Structure 1
Amino acid sequence: MFLRFVFPPPPSLLVTAMSVVSFASMANAGLSELKGKHMEYSKFWELKSGRKYKVDSRTGMIVCYTPAFLAGVASFALFPDESFRFLLLTSALSIHFFKRIFEVLFVHKYSGGMALDAAIVISLSYFISTATMIYAQHLSRDFPEPLMDLKYPGMALFLVGILGNLYHHCQLSKLRSKGEREYKIPKGGLFNLVVCPHYLFEILGFIGFSFISQTVYAFALATGTALYLMGRSYSTRRWYVSKFENFPNNVKALIPYIL
């Protein structure tokens, strides 16, 4: 049944191993968020004074996203004669990370710093996952197409995800005026129903990648990413409840009215 909508696993030990590693590492990161161990770029994590190399958050996030964006762009030159599905995937990945860089430069507002070593680790993670997804798609070119073609629904999900994520990031950027550093309860859009609508749309975007690609690796990465963002959403809601006595009880963590 699974092979009706996914390409057969390619004869590559690297891609097979990365499928397992990506799913396991992202799922474990989500569990860590639930336990209160946060990634070193979140508002829940405080930079220790003993860390030697610190950069401002904007620079740190540019370091995180640029290599993955360049991997997406380079794929057009490295694999010039690929399928339309491959072109859709690499275009979506390039747009995804270009949008992230755009937000870093023109949308997000920052109130802290970032450890350089953490930025490098996150950057490598994004770069490796992007490059592996592209490579897995390249390896599938000689396989017959899955019986169920999901690339067009995948593009629709990707577009909904990226536009919804951008809209809610813009809503977050309006919370604080220039010079303000305190946190506020987000409002507007789906923030009236869930704490992290931007994560909900991020998940939709990754499901879009997996539908466009229809490779085992893309589905593993999307599932792991969803589990991580679920854990992070729960952690975020718990943080807001602890900081604001008037936080509304009906606002869920990730999925309106449900979760």
Structure 2
Amino acid sequence: MQCSPCLVVALSGVLVALGLLILGLYCHTPTRYGKHAEVAAEEEQQPLREQQRRHLPAKCAWFLQELPAFLVPALLLALRSPPRFAPLGCRLLVGMFCGHYFHRTFIYSFLTRGRPFPLDTLLFGMLFCVYNGFLQGYYMVYCAEYPDDWCNDIRFTSGILLFLFGMGINVHSDFLLRQLRKPGELTYKIPQGGLFVYVSGANFFGEMLEWFGYAIATWCLPAFAFALFTMCFVGPRAYHHHRYYLRKFIGYPRSRKALIPFIF
């Protein structure tokens, strides 16, 4: 397989367009998962258990959804002939992109205590992870070229630090959310601690920082397209979470923002 710049640009453009489409679709109406599925069921006077017949357990669903984003670039790297383990592009790919999805697939999915996951959302998530996994992996394994001193570049060092900072926020926020519930408990509570002091979507904020850090460190079109997509995807989700908390909990801190501390 040879690098095709036109293919990279086209796939990246589709990713940006998809992000903007999702932003438009879900800016006013949240996806029907978790707390928002409950609200939709109440509004439509439909028992939630009727909806959940078309769902999978959260642990299984998250594993299936995130797995392609780890496997596809890993397979591209393994199947490349001749092998390409030495260049910095491959180390970035393995250490950052695949590292994130290894955690999401093999750690987060088995720890989550979320509600059953809708099959249509799962299918979309799997297809997206295949698509994005191929785009990021294809560029890094077959197209990426960096100078020998790239590791000394301010873009590389600042991007790595931002990625690690964001991943730390994301993992810690997920931990705090899990601690709100006992095993088997499904009630929603006010998130406390960490970045939740400042925003309702601390886990989303961390993930957004991760991918902008990845984009800066790799300094490539596919990574920036993915970072923009992430912002378009988690932004509405955080906004609707924030509105839900404000409506449900009388004592919810009014000083919190939805996604970005002190701003939004």
Instruction: Tell me the number of residue pairs that the alignment of Structure 1 and Structure 2 aligns.
Output: 247
> Secondary structure of 1:67's partner?
helix
Deviation at 1:187, TM superposition (A): 0.3
Deviation at 1:228, TM superposition (A): 2.1
Q: Deviations over 1:188-211 (max 9, x none)?
A: 111111101111110111012212
Task: Structure 1 unaligned segments of length 5 or more: list them.
Answer: 1-9
Q: Equivalent pairs: percent with the same residue?
A: 28
Deviation at 1:255, TM superposition (A): 1.5
Residue 116 (structure 1) aligns with: 119
Describe the shift of the 1:155–1:50 C-alpha distance in structure 2 as closer, same or farther (beyond 3 A): closer
Deviation at 1:25, TM superposition (A): 1.1
Give the one of 89, 93, 96 matched to 1:89. 93
| Pair 1:31 & 2:20 matched | no
Is contact 2:73–2:136 with CA below 8 Å preserved after alignment? no
Segment of structure 1 superposing worse, 90-99 or 49-58: 49-58
TM-score of the two chains, using structure 2 as the length reference: 0.83
Residue 204 (structure 1) aligns with: 209
- Please show how residues 65-84 of structure 1 align to structure 2 within 5 Å: 65-79=66-80, 80-81=83-84, 83-84=87-88
Residue 132 (structure 1) aligns with: 135
Is contact 2:239–2:258 with CA below 8 Å preserved after alignment? yes
| Pair 1:44 & 2:31 matched | no
CA distance in 2, matches of 1:14, 1:189: 41
| Pair 1:192 & 2:197 matched | yes
> Secondary structure of 2:117's partner?
strand
Describe the shift of the 1:137–1:170 C-alpha distance in structure 2 as closer, same or farther (beyond 3 A): same
CA distance in 2, matches of 1:151, 1:85: 11
* More relative contact order, 1 or 2 (CA 8 Å, 6+ apart): 1
Q: Deviations over 1:89-129 (max 9, x none)?
A: 232111101111201102x212x322334312211101210
- Please show how residues 1-259 of structure 1 align to structure 2 within 5 Å: 11-38=4-31, 40-45=32-37, 49=50, 53-79=54-80, 80-81=83-84, 83-101=87-105, 102-106=107-111, 108-110=112-114, 112-141=115-144, 150-259=155-264
Task: Structure 2 unaligned segments of length 5 or more: list them.
Answer: 39-47
Deviation at 1:52, TM superposition (A): 6.5
CA distance in 2, matches of 1:157, 1:75: 26
Deviation at 1:75, TM superposition (A): 3.5
Describe the shift of the 1:41–1:14 C-alpha distance in structure 2 as closer, same or farther (beyond 3 A): farther
TM-score of the two chains, using structure 1 as the length reference: 0.85
Is contact 2:13–2:225 with CA below 8 Å preserved after alignment? yes
Q: What letter is aligned with 1:21?
A: V
